[in-house]
Structure 1
Amino acid sequence: MSQTLIRNATIMTMDAERGTVPFEGDVLVDETTIKAIGPDLAAEPGAAVVDGRRKLVMPGLVNAHTHSSETFFRGRYEKMPLEVWLLYAYPLLMGPVIEPRLLYLRSLLLAMESLKSGVTTMSDCFFDPPRHELERLGAVFQAYDDAGIRANVSSGVMNIHTLDALPFAREVIPRDVQETLQFGPPITAEAYLDYCRAAIEAFDGISGRLKFMIAPSAPQRCTADLLTGCYALALERSLPFHSHVLETITQAVTGPELYGKSLVRYMADLGVLGRNTTIAHSVWVDDADMALMGEAGVTVVHNAVSNLKLGAGVAPVRRLMHAGVTIALGTDGVSSNDTASIFDVMRVAGLLHGASGPDHATWLSASELLQAATVGGARSAMLEGVTGSLEPGKAADLIMLDLDAYAFTPLNDIARHLVYAANGGHVDLVMVGGEVVMRDGRLTRVDEAAVLAEIRERVPAYLAGHTEVEARNRALEPWFTEIHRRSAARHTGVYRYAGDAALWPRNW
């Protein structure tokens, strides 16, 4: 039996008793779990001892919503609303599917960056259209297993044609163009659920760190039988049901246009809101939506950076919290965010909600943001009994930061330093399931230099091919811009430009 003892550290447990209040003590790790936390702990002979003096030990961060399928598109796009951006990052007119080695490398790169910035758990809804194949899903699981991160993974699904999941699309896009957007018969609910069951049997529980999750892309992109079948399977297997809901103003119009009700009400009427449900984004929700979500016990992942970059708006986080909704934090993909850092998301969210109005009592505190980045994220992943806080019996998923860094000097309030001053570069050590996977800024399981060199060698050719795909899809951009414009006009009655800035009514 192997033990690790972290001695004389400043500890922030994020548990129900202490929260973000730091104290001095030791952390004893026994194999994969935390055995004890407190002063003057004793370890077995031969235990590894880590000097925690002038170090902060806290739970690893949880990235509750990301897409590894975007990892090679960092820094590629800007000034695009979601519906336009999707044409390029997830093109309708697709090229060849990414080869298996690159599929593995893009997932590995995301895991590497995540670990080095203090993320020990992530929920990855990667897209691999038009396929759902166990072998390709296995490449993603293999990457995360090799890196040593904890992850929930899914190959997200949609089975409603894109043009039928958008308001105004069939009337805006010329019929001859629509005819070019035929992709063959969509996957049936039965076929996707069979795939999910096979994936659960093949991959769920790998290394005690990796799980499959059920991820219908969005309610308007999936048939009712697919949504209800996915939710039933999630309940049966105690897995998350993870979906994108009401991210953009276009989606705010989608529910009333297609279903005569909001997308949240549509989900409630289908019976797919509950404890297992994670809603990514939740920007354009109203009070009635939030009441349904709170009553059902759902979790919302706040993707503050991504929502700003895509111009989606600002989720009404305080009102969601008042309604009883659990809040987690996510980066979204590194094409709509450009980093995998939850430290960045915490800081932006903290600053952003200060602009929500003059009532500063409603602004988000550093303690609340840290709660969302740890415990809330663990609950979103249905792993709150495993990770998210430092407690005896939980997995030893922890990070150690250098309190002698500029970001903590002079030291005032650790929680506020973490949210507003620190970044992933201050993380010295990362442990997942009791294993040190990053020490002194170096990953222990992965040859970083070799991986980065291979990516630099192989990816330019892939991106050159993607440039051609982008060119084909660029022809569709004016019509998708018009869909976005009409949706904004329908929802707000106001859509005009002053210089480069759209004048949006505040939604928070």
Structure 2
Amino acid sequence: MTEILIRNATIVAMDAGHGAAPFPGDVLVEGETIKAIGEALTASPDARIIDGQGKLVMPGLVNAHTHSSETFLRGRYERMPLEIWLLYAYPLLMNDPIGERLLYLRSLLLAMESLRNGVTTFCDDFFDPPRHDLDRLATVFRAYDDAGIRANVSSAVMNVHTLDALPFAREVMPAELQALLDFGPPMTANAYIDYCRSAFSSLHGKSGRLNFMIAPSAPQRCSPDLMAACMDLAVEKHVPFHTHILETKTQAVTGQMLHGKSLIAYMHDLGLLKRNTTIAHSVWVSDDDMLLMGKAGVSVAHNAVSNLKLGAGIAPIRRLLDAGVTIGLGTDGVSSNDTSRVFDVMRVAGLVHSAAGPDYETWVAADEILTMATIGGAKTALLEQVTGSLEVGKAADLLILDLRNYPFMPLNDIAKHLVYSENGSSIETVIVAGRIVMENGRLKTVDEQAIFDEIAELVPAYLAEHADLERRNSVFEPIMAEIHRRATRTDIGINRYQGDVVDRHSMS
């Protein structure tokens, strides 16, 4: 069994004993796992020896929430709130699904960029309208297998008509436009669960790194029976129930208008807040919401960059942590972030929460951000026993960074350097499941230049088709703008205060 011994390195293990505190030592990898961590370790004569002098060894980063379906839409949109941006990134009027080769390249590009920037695990909330196709899902799995990354992959589902999942939509959209939105019979709970069981049978556990997860899009977009069936299967298979809740003010208004309560309270009443519930965003949550979330042990994927780009707001991370909610960091899709670099999210998350109020002792600290990017993210993916920290018996998912580089020069506090200074440029080696997938700044699993050349050749025609799709869907933009305008002016009982969510009654 192949061994790798990293000698005389500085180690940040992110385990229960050390946290973000660095210590000197060696790391011995045997096969896919970490065999030993300590000083003066020995290895077999044929082991690969890596000199760790002047190097930092740390766990691979975990991207707790992304969407591979956006990868070709990088750098395309700005100055759009979510409800308008969705019109163009996820159009209501659709063309045929992207071709299989482009689907593969799109997924592979996300994995390549992620690995190059230190992400060894991500949760891909893969959305592939208008149908669920096991062969297409298998194409995504194949791309991630070829790249060598660890991933949870979904096939996101919704079965509530768009106009019934948005406040004010039926009253502000003219009948002739509503008539264009005939999506056919909605997905039934039984049909989706049958599909998921097939995915578990054929794809789950592939190569020991790739898993299928359950991803009902959002409680306002899915019927109660579909969500209940999703949760039952997620619990049975011990995978995340991965969903979007309260990303925008519009969604906060939606809960009140549809159910007379917040969408978190609605989830609670349906019995859908559990340990394996992972919520992307959680921006517009109240104190009562956070109490329910903490008691249930749910997780949140905090998408600090995309929340800012789409004007959604700033999630109340300190108060979520205090309530007992596990926090991971997500990039969200490349179209609403424009990179898949978790280091970018770490820096933004480390800075933006200082705007949450004048009590600076509650501002989020660098070691907390680093926890979110590693073991916290692993917990949101239900992979904390596998990855997220450097511990004997866990998967050898790790990074080797050069400490003799600008982000660490001169060296003061490693956690603060990683959060506020590093951007991925110091990464020399990336190891996933004991396999070196990047070395000396070059990916070893794929020919990067050949992939870039193929994308440059094939994608322009796809983007031209997408531009036509954007023109067709632009007819709905005034409607979505009006929905956004009305929602922002609707009183929902919570207010924004310097980036945090504050219960209005508690301020009186």
State the TM-score bracket (shorter-chain normalisation). over 0.9
User: Match for residue 165 of structure 2?
Assistant: 165
Q: In the alignment, what sits opposite 1:144?
A: 144
Q: State the distance in 2 between where 1:161 and 1:239 align.
A: 27
Mapped to 1, the partners of 2:194 and 2:392 lie a distance apart of 38
Partner residue in 1 for 2:428 = 428
After superposition, the Cα gap between the structure-2 partners of 1:305 and 1:204, relative to the gap in structure 1 and judged at 3 Å, is: same
Residue of structure 2 in register with 1:203 after alignment: 203
The 8 Å contact of residues 240 and 276 in structure 2, kept in 1 or not, is answered as: yes
Matched to 2:97, the amino acid is V
Q: 2: CA distance between counterparts of 1:104 and 1:176?
A: 37
Q: CA deviation at 1:507?
A: 3.9
SS in 1 for 2:167: coil
TM-score using structure 1 length: 0.97
Where in structure 2 are the equivalents of 1:14-413 lying within 5 Å?
A: 14-413=14-413
Aligned match of 1:457: 457
**Amino acid across the alignment from 2:82:** L
Gaps of 5+ in 2: 502-508
CA positional deviation for 1:286: 0.1
Q: Tell me how far apart the structure 1 counterparts of residues 128 and 21 of structure 2 sit (CA, whole Å).
A: 43
Determine the structure 2 residue equivalent to 1:499: none
- Residue 334 of structure 2: SS of its match in structure 1? coil
Cα distance 1:364–1:505, how it changes in 2: closer, same or farther (>3 A)? closer
Partners in 1 of 2:108 and 2:356 — Cα distance? 37
CA distance in 1, matches of 2:357, 2:287: 18
Letter in 2 for 1:485: R
Whole-angstrom CA distance in 1 between matches of 2:270 and 2:397: 36
Structure-2 residue corresponding to 1:440: 440
Task: Tell me, in whole angstroms, the C-alpha distance in 2 between the residues paired with 1:475 and 1:426.
Answer: 46
Per-residue CA deviations over 1:36-81 (Å, capped at 9, x if unaligned) read 0010000011001011110000000000000000000000000000
Q: Does the residue aligned with 2:42 lie in a helix, a strand or coil?
A: coil
Letter in 2 for 1:174: P
Residues 245, 280 of structure 1: 8 Å contact kept: yes
What is the alpha-carbon distance in structure 1 between the residues aligned to residue 323 and residue 432 of structure 2? Answer: 33
Q: What is the distance in 1 between the residues matched to 2:494 and 2:385? A: 46
Distance in 1 separating the partners of 2:388 and 2:377: 7
Asked if the contact 2:396–2:434 (Cα under 8 Å) also holds between the matched residues in 1, the reply is: yes
SS of residue in 1 equivalent to 2:425: helix
Q: Which amino acid is 2:367 matched to?
A: S
SS at match of 1:394: coil
Conserved? CA contact 1:60–1:119, under 8 Å: yes
Q: CA deviation at 1:206?
A: 0.5
Structure 1 contact 408–417 (Cα < 8 Å) conserved: yes
Instruction: Give the count of matched residue pairs.
Output: 501
Counterpart AA for 2:33: T
Work out whether residues 278 and 298 of structure 1, in 8 Å CA contact, stay in contact via their aligned partners in 2.
yes
1:467 counterpart letter in structure 2: A
Partner of 2:506: none
State how far apart, in whole Å, the 1-side matches of 2:312 and 2:485 are.
Answer: 13
Structure 1: unaligned runs, 5 residues or longer = 496-502
The answer to whether the 8 A contact 2:356-2:498 is kept is no
CA displacement 1:232-256 (0-9 Å, x = unmatched)? 0000111110000000000010001
> What's 1:498 paired with?
none
- The residue that corresponds to 1:2 in the other structure is 2
Bigger shift: residues 44-53 or 310-319? 44-53
2:436 & 2:244 partners in 1: Cα distance? 33
1:419 equivalent to 2:416? Answer no
Which position in structure 1 is the counterpart of 2:505?
none
* Aligned CA distance change for structure 1 residues 211 and 494 (closer, same or farther; 3 Å): closer
Question: Structure 1 residue 491: deviation in Å?
Answer: 3.0
Cα offset for 1:357? 1.3
Query: Could you tell me which amino acid in structure 1 is paired with residue 6 of structure 2?
Result: I
1:103-141 Cα offsets, whole Å, 9 max, x none, are 110000000000000000000001100110100000000
Q: Shift of residue 492 of structure 1?
A: 6.3
Aligned residue in 2 for 1:490:
490
CA distance in 2, matches of 1:504, 1:363: 14
Per-residue CA distance 1:421-462 (angstroms, 9 max, x = gap)? 001121100000000000011111101010110001000000
Q: What is the aligned partner in structure 1 of residue 479 from structure 2? A: 479
Kept after mapping to 2: 8 A contact 1:243/1:279? yes
Q: 1:176: Cα distance to partner?
A: 1.4
Q: 1:323 to 1:408 in 2, by over 3 A?
A: same
> What's the offset of the Cα at 1:175?
1.1
Measured in 2, the distance between the counterparts of 1:186 and 1:455 equals 34
CA RMSD of aligned residues (A): 1.3
Contact 1:284 1:507 in 2 (8 A): no
Counterpart CA distance in 1 for 2:396 and 2:494 is 51
| Matches of 2:439 and 2:276, distance apart in 1 | 34
The farther-off stretch of 253-262 and 302-311 is 253-262
Output one character per residue of 1:206-246: Cα deviation in whole Å (capped at 9) or x when no partner.
Answer: 11000000000000000000000000000011111000000
TM-score scaled by length of structure 2: 0.97
Contact 2:69 2:127 in 1 (8 A): yes
